Structure 1
Amino acid sequence: MSASAERDPERSGDEPIRGHVRSRGFRRVSHGLFLKIVADLDQADEFLRDLEAWTEVLPDSAVFTHVTAARLLGWELPKLPEQVPVFAAVDRDDPRPRREGLICSRLTRKRSGFVAGGFPIDSPEEILLRAARDLGVLDLVIMIDSARSRGDLDGARMKALLESGRPGVKVLAAAFGLSNAKRESGGETVLGCFHAAMEVASEPQVSLHDAEGRFIGRVDFLITGTDWVHEYDGEMHRAKSQHRTDLRRERGWSGTSYRRKGFTLDDLLNHPLVVMHEIDRDLGRPHRNRRLERWRTLVRESLYDVPGRDRVLNRWRRAMGVVQWS
């Protein structure tokens, strides 16, 4: 399956090396697989170089899948661990390489023919299903929102997949039911899922207008039936230029009934009880503990919490043949 020379013929001498390299200037990708150390490459370039190396040990039928293919497609990803294996799938009749850093599964149907970044990948719907066998619902919603906003999912293929009863479909269906193509970031997705858990109806990416019909801004979420605006305040909002833009926009709301509240990831993950009480007071409704437990379950089963991360890491270690219980 080697394609490094075809992908970039000018990179002569930068091809992956199979065998054992003892000299300096090389880094180990996996057992018996090395790459020459190249200075001044960013993480994206190194990721592509790693995939080129992995093609040396994968059969011709192999495609990349799971979060590996999602990254190639440019999808938003949840909070992944620092060390994530490469995911591939091969035809039923081909051998599955078993190496540290690689998880290889079987293709259940003919190779899809999809390509991203110059590499063969599984179909977008199959990518999500394979991820659903490992990740939690909250993690998957982030990936699905991104895939839908980019137009990468086919409605007919997705419907057939969700009706198939295959392993992972139940989790994928739950995540798909919470997804919304209008959300523009992973942080917005987390806030949207918090709304769902809290039983708060909201509309993402709403354009606001004043009483004279003048456009005064577009907001992350407008709480249905109210003038409350909820927005995700990520790192970009701390930048001086963005902060000035946010202040100008809010000054433009003067004289209107709109009221804004911003939420950080720390608010949603570590202080959900406080946030729930704030929202309940704003909406004039009683607190319901079942809402909080629903949200805590989503977080606990995801990569955003220690139990969820440990579960996924242990599953990946077993799949690679590295058994380590946390």
Structure 2
Amino acid sequence: MLHGLYRPETPELSERANFLLDLSALALILPGGAKFTHVTGARLLGWKLPNLPEHVPFFVAVRDSKRPRRPGLICARLTHESGGLVVDGLPVEAPEEILLRAARDLGDLDLAIMVDSAVRLGHVNEELMAPVLNSRRPGVRRLARVWAGRDGKAESPGETLLRKFHDAMEVPTRSQVDIVVDGRFVARADLLVTGTQNLHEYDGAGHRRASTHRKDLRRERAIAAASYTRRGYTLDDLLNHPAVLMHEFDSLLGRSHQVRRLRVWRSMVGDSLYSETGRARIMNRWYRSTNPVEWARTA
């Protein structure tokens, strides 16, 4: 799993169980008081994560000056007093600290997915975030910006991305809106465009299954009967055809096109793990934090 650190393969176990075994093995070589952090800690806490590469280093925060140096392991120094959690017997840094460390590497879109998930699970709130956001530590500016636009109602990374696209297009929305007609529940929409009867939703891979597709068709008929219009969007739409969506939104709202809005979105995508340039930037940053051995080839 790491250079010089091995454990028996257990393909019969779930992805979560294998991840816990990896961390348990890694904990054997860590100094006392070490805590898992960054995307490692976030995954341990069950947060939704952005489009991470297949091989991601393990992230640990340690107070000991003697930090282990291994390919695939990034150790950050604990310089501030912070609480922590124990999840499945493994030490995890405080959620607000996890977000701050992630903010130093990831783009706004990537971080927004983590923030939304942490808020939804009740792991962070304004009181917990205040000491971090009021500090001048690295990453605070990005974290504060993303925190200000958080939405704990988002149920998936795709929903967060769709909402952020609407924000970039300056289209006001409400999240997870219940559509009720004559006292009868019709549907819960990912996004309702404010002041309209238009429902915008993220369609992920799960919607392609036959059983799900049949349910979706029945749901769409009920929405149409309630005088609402549903529009579904995919990740490909958001990443590769944003200009088409911008024109659609502008026509819907009866306003002129502003290329500035499109530039804002493309800049956000370009700085994130959802673009080749963003992935290269982040991966190179992580690579420089390890020794010269190629950690991306480790299991």
Q: State the TM bucket, normalised to the shorter chain.
A: over 0.9
What is the CA-CA distance between 1:73 and the residue it aligns to? 0.5
Correspondence for 2:6: 34
Correspondence for 2:166: 195
Residue 182 (structure 1) aligned to one of 136, 139, 153 = 153
Q: State the AA in 1 paired with 2:206.
A: M
Q: How does 1:55-134 map to 2 (within 5 A)?
A: 55-91=27-63, 93-110=64-81, 112-134=83-105
Determine the C-alpha separation between the residues in 2 that align with 1:167 and 1:217.
Answer: 43
What is the CA-CA distance between 1:137 and the residue it aligns to? 0.4
The SS at the match of 2:199 is: strand
What is the CA-CA distance between 1:278 and the residue it aligns to? 0.8
**What do the CA deviations read for 1:190-241 (whole angstroms, capped 9, x no partner)?**
000000000000001001122x232211111100001111000111111122
**What do the CA deviations read for 1:109-133 (whole angstroms, capped 9, x no partner)?**
2352311222101000000000111
Tell me if the contact between 1:206 and 1:219 (Cα under 8 Å) persists in the aligned partners. yes
Correspondence for 2:25: 53
Determine the C-alpha separation between the residues in 2 that align with 1:254 and 1:302.
Answer: 36
The SS at the match of 1:32 is: coil
Determine the C-alpha separation between the residues in 1 that align with 2:197 and 2:14.
Answer: 44
The SS at the match of 1:35 is: coil
What is the CA-CA distance between 1:32 and the residue it aligns to? 2.0
Deviates more, 1:306-315 or 1:149-158: 149-158
What is the CA-CA distance between 1:323 and the residue it aligns to? 8.2
Tell me if the contact between 2:71 and 2:293 (Cα under 8 Å) persists in the aligned partners. no
Q: Is residue 123 of structure 2 the alignment partner of residue 152 of structure 1?
A: yes
Correspondence for 2:252: 282
> TM-score, normalized by length of structure 2?
0.95
Determine the C-alpha separation between the residues in 2 that align with 1:53 and 1:153.
Answer: 28
Q: Is residue 177 of structure 2 the alignment partner of residue 206 of structure 1?
A: yes
Correspondence for 1:240: 210
Determine the C-alpha separation between the residues in 2 that align with 1:182 and 1:265.
Answer: 19
Correspondence for 2:297: none
Tell me if the contact between 1:114 and 1:123 (Cα under 8 Å) persists in the aligned partners. yes
Tell me if the contact between 1:276 and 1:292 (Cα under 8 Å) persists in the aligned partners. yes
- What is the count of residue pairs matched by the alignment? 294
Give the share of equivalent positions with the same residue, in percent.
54
The SS at the match of 1:103 is: strand
Structure of larger gyration radius: 1
Determine the C-alpha separation between the residues in 2 that align with 1:83 and 1:75.
Answer: 18
**What do the CA deviations read for 1:259-279 (whole angstroms, capped 9, x no partner)?**
111000000001000011011
The SS at the match of 1:221 is: strand
Tell me if the contact between 1:77 and 1:139 (Cα under 8 Å) persists in the aligned partners. yes
**What do the CA deviations read for 1:7-37 (whole angstroms, capped 9, x no partner)?**
xxxxxxxxxxxxxxxxxxxxxx223211122
> TM-score, normalized by length of structure 1?
0.87
Correspondence for 2:135: 164
Runs of 4 or more, structure 1, over 4 Å off, are none
Correspondence for 2:196: 226
Q: RMSD of aligned C-alpha atoms? A: 1.4
Determine the C-alpha separation between the residues in 2 that align with 1:60 and 1:291.
Answer: 49
In the alignment, structure 1 segments of 5+ residues that lack a partner are: 1-28
The SS at the match of 1:30 is: coil
Correspondence for 1:259: 229
Q: Is residue 108 of structure 2 the alignment partner of residue 140 of structure 1?
A: no
Determine the C-alpha separation between the residues in 1 that align with 2:215 and 2:11.
Answer: 37
